């Protein structure tokens, strides 16, 4: 709608239409993390494995947050920095179709060409979803890292993190729960043509898809 001086000038569109907001979900994950810090559920500078290890839940032992580079992985590494869109957890950019094509997705910006030198690609996006280097040393835009963050936050809260966003943000600004959605990782992974022109974009969304009976919302977005 367009207003001027408190008066409605013109309004248009379908108020019931729900727009697919893609990576806005990353911002929702910020809310969940910030609320966890405020409630004393975690220290953002402590290794994540002190809160959740992923052992016997993540699909491969090398992904456990007690293994390899993950030992140094903190919440702050996974959330990124306020003044940039980069992610410092050591996770590759995307581990779907781009990873199999030996692309990071950043060539268009001339930032990084091909798969980063520090990463070893097997071509299996599920297997390759882990920290490939020491956290804090390489910054990339990484939806894969945000997926791991969503899993860890679900474990820490012990509840559906969508409900956390509703209570701490949307209730306060008058948006009822039925007015917005947040897809689960399982829902996105199973849609080969989630983006019709980019098939298999999200095959890196690895288990667990539920933690203690709570669905894992897609930290990367949607």
Q: What is the pLDDT of residues 66-108, one digit of tens each?
A: 999 999 999 999 987 766 677 899 988 777 777 777 776 555 5
* Residue 113, pLDDT above cutoff 70: no
Cβ 149 vs Cβ 33: under 8 Å: yes
Task: For residue 129, give Cα distances in angstroms to 47, 83, 132, 150, 158.
Answer: 18, 25, 9, 14, 23
The reply to whether 98 falls in a domain is yes
DSSP 54-115: -TTTSSSGGGSTTSGGGGG-BHHHHH--TTSS-B-SS--S--SHHHHTT--S-GGGTS--SS
**At residue 2, what are phi and psi to the nearest 5 degrees?**
-120, 125
pLDDT at 111 over 60: no
In a domain, residue 79? The reply is yes
pLDDT at 110: 47
Q: Residue 163: pLDDT above 90?
A: yes
pTM: 0.89
| Best CA proximity match to 206, nearest among 22, 57, 100 | 57
Query: Is there a domain that residue 220 lies in?
Result: no
Range of the domain at 122: 20-215
The tokens 């957890």 sit on which residue? 89
What pLDDT does residue 3 have? 96
Q: Are 92 and 119 in contact (CB under 8 A)?
A: yes
Say if 174 falls within a structural domain.
yes
Three-state SS at 42: coil
Specify the number of domains making up the chain.
1
Q: State the chain's mean pLDDT as an integer.
A: 89
Q: Please state the rounded mean pLDDT for residues 115-121.
A: 78
Does 155 fall in a domain?
Answer: yes
Is residue 14 a part of any domain in this protein? no
């Amino acid at each position: 709608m367009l207003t001027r001086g408190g008066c409605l000038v013109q309004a248009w569109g379908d108020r019931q239409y729900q727009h697919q907001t893609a990576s806005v979900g990353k911002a929702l994950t910020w809310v969940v993390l910030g609320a966890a810090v405020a409630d004393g559920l975690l220290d953002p500078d402590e290794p994540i494995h002190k809160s959740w290890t992923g052992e016997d839940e993540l699909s491969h032992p090398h992904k456990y947050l007690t293994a390899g580079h993950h030992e140094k992985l903190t919440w702050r590494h996974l959330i990124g920095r306020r003044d940039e869109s980069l992610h410092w957890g050591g996770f590759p950019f995307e581990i779907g179709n781009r990873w199999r094509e030996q692309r990071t997705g950043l060539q268009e910006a001339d930032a990084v060409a091909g798969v980063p030198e520090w990463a070893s690609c097997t071509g299996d996006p599920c297997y390759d979803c882990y920290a490939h280097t020491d956290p804090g040393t390489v910054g990339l835009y990484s939806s894969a890292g945000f997926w791991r963050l969503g899993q860890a936050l679900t474990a820490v809260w012990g509840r559906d993190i969508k409900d956390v966003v509703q209570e701490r943000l949307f209730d306060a600004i008058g948006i009822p729960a039925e007015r917005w959605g947040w897809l689960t990782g399982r829902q996105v992974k199973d849609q080969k043509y989630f983006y019709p022109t980019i098939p298999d974009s999200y095959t890196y969304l690895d288990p667990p898809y539920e933690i203690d009976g709570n669905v894992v919302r897609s930290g990367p977005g949607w």
